[in-house]
Structure 1
């Protein structure tokens, strides 16, 4: 029976249902444990020799974590250092000092897009929170407190961060899909950027312009004071006294940046942007050499620096050197910043390892081959299929990473041997699906809701809807590009 394609596909379906049940059951099992239990069940049900199962699970976890885990941890180190050194603070100053009612949502979109390249969604939002509150507070007070500016500034940031989190390496999910589908990472970044820009614009500032007037939101005084160092009433008085409201943001500028106890020097704004972009530029460099001069002497060094682990390592070392020198951080400050960054991504790393177990079982037990036999007769675009699987599993399990991991394992044998550009678009389709329907079983939903004092309905109309729009527009762009590749 275990040789029957129908039976093996049935094992896959039951395994996915078991995974959803374990994560959503009243015990709320951690996704890593749920993936481990599901992998063990699938291995036994698919007929793998019992003596070989432990080795398969360990190989799957170690292999996936080795490819992706290093990128995850290095990305966390870079993101935390950018915040602690004050580099993010310099970018925040750019927004605060040069925003106007017309340009502020668009400026925030661009800043969140840059900040989000090396940072996870939650990390990027935490870093941007003082900036969001500072800009929104000033504009809201200047406009007579219509209670619309918090959403006008927040929504573009959520759109940019979630889009990058789902579509572009070196974020964990897209990196898993790139490795699992054997996609070209530079090509994936390039195509991902083409898909991401319209998705972010339509889901961010455009949607914010539509929905903000329909939801009156002003966070509590405690929340505003926590992130902006003042309250709306105090900021209003400051504006009346100063005429421009600038002093209401003085505390914010002190809060953004390092909390090391040392008197840090300001980081040049241009240097802050350079540190954010170094890893991305290195990964794109390999693709550019492949396209323009594939037989040149640059081929080998480009292949080296274009690898995600090397690119991220170079970015961390570069930022650690120049930011420490520029901001006058001590070696102890840098070490503390790196060390404190790792705890926040430990759970992500475990989910990645658990996903590796599941993928290894799918490959070793021939479930993937059985799925190919069953799906080969379906007339469905693989970009759309990956999007559907990523969307459904992310919604059901509360984890975009789980959705990407599972969809990657299912689609890997189906896209083998296809054109590199098409495989990259499948990666983008899977990632786009994973960020949609981000609702009550997602940690990010509750983080945004509580950070801005929203009701459940307000959070649904904003955070969940924004991420679902990003998901839909990302899919549409990937399908559009697939016509030309």
Structure 2
């Protein structure tokens, strides 16, 4: 029976992969079909299948919808106001031309905190290209560190949807994940960013010309550098305060207040209104413009919400059909660390589907039931290990692969040698960081 449950679970995961890559279904449909297949073949009674799926979807999306929406609006305000450009420009001025890779790494890391990877690339790319035109340096030396900073933050650090989904599924502590992920993300980004860029730019010289993409900035002035930094970092500052409050011997009322404003939804809501005022109204935007930016930014979120919800449904079907317990017992017999298991499963799904979000959501759904009866599992580092696995070996089935290729003017071969290697470096260095921290915590 155990072998049968394992086989149908593998078949369900294969169904997700085939649906996305062969039939070109949306990941939401693939995950939903896989959930129904797993429930039916595992013998879950017909009256319980739909309720299990709906419970799973609701459990994951209950507190994520607002976070995703607000985070996207904040990213849009950063892009349209020029705040992201101001931050990138600040690092370039401070570090100078000789230390450009380091300047670009920190710019990507900071800008990546409140925005999606794709939006971050759009924010910094005009600056990358203008620097390349001025300095005549290999564009990889300037672009790869930015991409490393953006990608690692997108994969590991809250309030990004992947990390928040894993936190929700594993029931991990958000504050601890935030702190650990920053500790792990910085060395990973340094190795895959400036250090790798300095090595590879001597070996790969792009033959094509990068595409130039610019946002329309019709306002008279850009926000100040200080305000730009404040808005970008505000949600993180509020969340860190909430995480630190229990250790600060504060009156109970103040501690509760800090916990309230540091919860992701409220932290992002405060940050969005700060952005509306400082990046919008003060820069000459009117109310209609702010509403239009909000609406424009929310349309693409629907797809991510559906994928995350379907991943939650898949997780619940795994639990209710008893598959989770079976895999858990087998993992214990193999003495495989949950961190290693999560990393490997997320990595395999990422390689097969090309989607970091699908990989993270599905892997967390598979591993979550396994750890329920285990003691001594660090849930926060489990989130990071799963996130690290979801980054590895990006190739032709990943939209990010083509985005980097086109925007930097690379050939497919050059993209493999640069972007794919960079993502894999990020993945394995972050995983190593999680294992090292796990030995001490």
Report the TM-score when normalising by structure 2: 0.95
Q: Which residue of 1 aligns with 2:74?
A: 78
Residue pairs, 1:325-336, within 5 angstroms? 325-336=281-292
Alpha-carbon displacement from aligned partner over 1:89-124 (angstroms, at most 9, x marks no partner): 322432454553321110111111010001111111
**Residue of structure 2 aligned with 1:102, choices 94, 98, 102:** 98
Distance 1:419 1:164 in 2: 29
Change (3 A) 1:416 1:136: farther
Q: Does the 8 A contact of 2:92 with 2:104 survive in 1?
A: no
Q: Are 1:415 and 2:371 matched, yes or no?
A: yes
Change (3 A) 1:275 1:421: farther
Distance 2:70 2:377 in 1: 27
Q: Are 1:34 and 2:23 matched, yes or no?
A: no
Q: Are 1:175 and 2:164 matched, yes or no?
A: yes
Q: What are structure 1's unaligned runs of at least 5 residues?
A: 141-147, 228-254
> Which structure is larger by alpha-carbon Rg, 1 or 2?
1
Q: Are 1:275 and 2:272 matched, yes or no?
A: no
Q: Which residue of 2 aligns with 1:310?
A: 266
**Residue of structure 2 aligned with 1:88, choices 81, 84, 89:** 84
Q: Which residue of 2 aligns with 1:16?
A: 13
Residue pairs, 1:11-410, within 5 angstroms? 11-25=8-22, 27-95=23-91, 97-98=93-94, 100-140=96-136, 148-217=137-206, 219-220=208-209, 223-224=210-211, 226-227=212-213, 255=214, 258-259=216-217, 261=218, 263-293=219-249, 296-410=252-366
Change (3 A) 1:300 1:356: same
C-alpha deviation, 1:331, in angstroms: 0.9
Q: Please give the secondary structure, in 1, of the residue aligned with 2:440.
A: coil
Q: Which residue of 2 aligns with 1:473?
A: 429
Q: What are structure 2's unaligned runs of at least 5 residues?
A: none
Q: Does the 8 A contact of 1:437 with 1:468 survive in 2?
A: yes
Distance 1:299 1:50 in 2: 47
Q: Does the 8 A contact of 1:96 with 1:131 survive in 2?
A: no
Q: Does the 8 A contact of 1:152 with 1:208 survive in 2?
A: yes
Q: Does the 8 A contact of 1:91 with 1:272 survive in 2?
A: yes
Q: Are 1:464 and 2:430 matched, yes or no?
A: no
Question: Size of the alignment, in residue pairs?
Answer: 441
Change (3 A) 1:85 1:482: same
Q: Please give the secondary structure, in 1, of the residue aligned with 2:378.
A: helix
Alpha-carbon displacement from aligned partner over 1:74-93 (angstroms, at most 9, x marks no partner): 11110001111221232243
C-alpha deviation, 1:295, in angstroms: 7.1
C-alpha deviation, 1:362, in angstroms: 1.1
C-alpha deviation, 1:133, in angstroms: 0.9
Change (3 A) 1:54 1:264: farther
Q: Does the 8 A contact of 1:150 with 1:218 survive in 2?
A: no
379-388 vs 72-81, which moves further:
379-388
Q: Please give the secondary structure, in 2, of the residue aligned with 1:380.
A: coil
408-417 vs 452-461, which moves further:
408-417
Q: Does the 8 A contact of 2:79 with 2:119 survive in 1?
A: no
Distance 2:131 2:91 in 1: 7
Q: Please give the secondary structure, in 1, of the residue aligned with 2:333.
A: coil
Change (3 A) 1:419 1:205: farther
Q: Does the 8 A contact of 1:109 with 1:157 survive in 2?
A: yes
Alpha-carbon displacement from aligned partner over 1:233-290 (angstroms, at most 9, x marks no partner): xxxxxxxxxxxxxxxxxxxxxx55x54x4x3332111000000011111111121112
Report the TM-score when normalising by structure 1: 0.87
Q: Does the 8 A contact of 2:2 with 2:326 survive in 1?
A: yes
Q: Does the 8 A contact of 1:187 with 1:421 survive in 2?
A: no
Change (3 A) 1:102 1:67: same
Q: Which residue of 2 aligns with 1:239?
A: none
Q: CA RMSD in A?
A: 1.9
**Residue of structure 2 aligned with 1:6, choices 3, 7, 10:** 3
Distance 1:86 1:185 in 2: 30
Alpha-carbon displacement from aligned partner over 1:198-234 (angstroms, at most 9, x marks no partner): 00001000000000011112542xx45x34xxxxxxx
